[in-house]
A and B are shown apart, each in its own frame.
Chain A
Amino acid sequence: MKKSQKILALIGTNIPRVDIQEKMTGEALFTDDIQFGVKLLYARIKRSPHAHALIKSIDTSRAEKLPGVRAVVTGADFSGRIGLYLKDRHIIARNRVRYIGEPVAGVAAVSEAVAEKALDLIQVEYEPLPALFLPQDAIKPDAPLIHPDLGEYEVVNFIFPKPGTNISNHFKIRKGDMKNAWKNCAAIVENEYYIPHIQHVPLETHVAVAKVDLSGKITLWTSSQSPFAQRDLIAKTWGMSPADIKVISPYVGGGFGCKAGVTMEALPVLLAMKVKGCPVKLRLTREEEFYTNFVRQALLIRLKMGCDAEGNILAMENTMYWDGGASTEYGVNITRAGGYSSTGPYDIPNVKTDSYCVYTNNTIGGPYRGFGMSELHTGIEQCVDELANKIKMDKVAFRMRNVVESGDILATGMVMHPTGIKACIEKVAEAIEWGKPSEPSAPHKKRGKGIALMWKAPAMPPNPGSSATLKFNSDGTVFLSIGGQEIGQGAFTVAAQIAAAGLGVPMDWIRISKPLDTDYSSYEWQTVASRITWTMGNAILDAAKDARKQIFKIVAKAWKENKKDLEIKDGIVYSTNTDKKISLKDFVITGIPKKKDQGWIGGPIIGRGKFMPTYVTGLDKDTGQGKRAVVHYTTGAQGFIVEVDTLTGKLEIIKAVSAFDVGKAINPDLVKAQIEGGMVQGISSALFEQLVFKEGVLQNPNFVDYRIATTMDLPDKMESYYIEVPQDDGPFGARGIGEHPMVPTIAAIANAINDAVGIRLEGPPFTAEKLFMAIKAQNKSVD
Chain B
Amino acid sequence: MKMHTINFTINGRKESLKVSSNLTLLHMIRENLALTGTKNGCEAGECGACTVLLNGEPVNSCMVLAVECDRAEIMTVEGLTENGELARLQESFKNLNAVQCGFCTPGMLITAYELLQRNPHPTPSEIKEALVGNLCRCTGYERIIQAVEQASGE
Residues of chain A having any CB pair with chain B under 8 Å = 16-17, 19-30, 32-33, 35, 200-205, 251-256, 285-286, 487-490, 669-670, 673, 676-681, 702-704, 708-712, 714, 718
Contacts and interface: CB of A to CB of B under 8 A. Distances in A.
In the A-B complex, list the 7 residue pairs whose CB atoms are closest, starting with the nearest.
A26-B37, A253-B103, A488-B101, A680-B140, A488-B100, A23-B102, A33-B36
B145 interface: yes
- Most A-side CB within 10 Å, residue of B37, B77, B103: B103
B100 A203 contact: no
B66 interface: no
- Most B-side CB within 10 Å, residue of A200, A487, A678, A711: A711
Contacts of B106: 26
Interface string B90-109: 10011101011111111001
A712 B132 contact: yes
A711 B139 CA distance: 11
Given A25-B78, A26-B38, A703-B135, A714 B101 contact: no
B121 interface: no
Contact of A203 (B49, B93, B133): B49
A673 B143 contact: yes
Given A19-B102, A23-B99, A711-B131, A286 B94 contact: no
Given A203-B49, A702-B44, A703-B47, A252 B141 contact: no
Majority secondary structure of chain A interface residues (helix, strand, loop or mixed): loop
A254 B137 contact: yes
A669 to B, nearest CB: 6
21 contacts: A17-B99, A19-B102, A24-B105, A25-B77, A26-B38, A26-B76, A26-B106, A28-B102, A29-B36, A33-B30, A202-B101, A202-B103, A204-B101, A253-B101, A254-B138, A286-B43, A488-B102, A703-B47, A709-B141, A710-B141, A712-B128
B88 to A, nearest CB: 12
Interface string B65-81: 00000000000111011
Interface string B1-29: 00000000000000000000000000000
Given A21-B86, A286-B42, A676-B140, A35 B102 contact: no
Given A676-B140, A712-B128, A24 B99 contact: yes
Contact of A204 (B39, B134, B139): B39
Interface in B31-60: 34-44, 46-47, 49
Contacts of B49: 203
Contact of A702 (B46, B77, B128): B46
Contacts of A32: 36, 40
A45 B24 CA distance: 23
Given A202-B103, A254-B101, A676-B143, 20 more contacts: A16-B97, A25-B77, A26-B38, A201-B137, A202-B137, A203-B39, A203-B47, A204-B39, A254-B100, A254-B103, A286-B41, A677-B139, A710-B131, A710-B135, A711-B132, A711-B134, A711-B144, A712-B128, A714-B128, A714-B141
A30 B143 contact: no
Contacts of B134: 711
Nearest to B89: A24
Nearest to B40: A32
Contacts of B40: 32
A645 B73 CA distance: 46
Contact of B100 (A29, A285, A490): A490
B102 A256 contact: no
Contacts of A28: 102
Contacts of A252: 101
Contacts of A205: 41
B90 to A, nearest CB: 4
Contact of A487 (B41, B101, B132): B101
A200 B90 CA distance: 27
Nearest to A35: B34
Contacts of A19: 102
Contact of B43 (A21, A24, A285, A718): A285
Contacts of B154: none
Contacts of B104: 203
A17 B97 contact: yes
B136 interface: yes
Contacts of A490: 100
A227 B48 CA distance: 28
Interface of B: 30, 34-44, 46-47, 49, 76-78, 80-81, 84, 86, 90, 93-95, 97, 99-106, 109, 127-129, 131-145
A489 B97 CA distance: 11
A203 B135 contact: yes
A203 B80 contact: no
Nearest to A487: B101
Contacts of B101: 202-204, 251-255, 487-488
B21 to A, nearest CB: 13
B94 A204 contact: no
A21 B43 CA distance: 27
A445 to B, nearest CB: 20
Contact of B93 (A24, A204, A251): A24
B86 A23 contact: no
Contacts of A669: 97
Contacts of B145: 711, 714
Contacts of B95: 16
Contacts of A203: 39, 41, 47, 49, 101, 103-104, 135-137
A709 B129 CA distance: 13
Nearest to A29: B36
B107 to A, nearest CB: 9
B152 to A, nearest CB: 16
A34 to B, nearest CB: 9
Contacts of B44: 286, 702-703
A508 to B, nearest CB: 15
B100 A677 contact: yes
Contacts of A286: 41-44, 46-47
A204 B102 CA distance: 10
A505 B94 CA distance: 24
B26 to A, nearest CB: 12
B43 A681 contact: no
Contacts of A711: 127-129, 131-132, 134, 141, 144-145
Contacts of A489: 100
A703 to B, nearest CB: 4
B77 A708 contact: no
A30 B30 CA distance: 12
A659 B87 CA distance: 35
- Most A-side CB within 10 Å, residue of B76, B86, B97, B104: B97
A255 B103 CA distance: 11
Nearest to A672: B97
A703 B99 CA distance: 21
A255 B100 CA distance: 11
Contacts of B34: 35
B142 A30 contact: no
A23 B47 contact: no
A35 B132 CA distance: 32
B27 to A, nearest CB: 10
Nearest to B87: A24
B135 A24 contact: no
B139 A253 contact: no
Contacts of B99: 17, 20, 23-24
Contacts of A24: 81, 86, 90, 93-94, 99, 105, 109
Contacts of B36: 26, 29-30, 32-33
Contacts of B94: 16-17, 20-21, 24
Nearest to B104: A203
A27 B47 CA distance: 20
A27 B138 contact: no
A350 B80 CA distance: 62
B143 to A, nearest CB: 7
Contacts of B90: 24-25
A202 B143 CA distance: 19
A276 to B, nearest CB: 25
B93 A488 contact: no
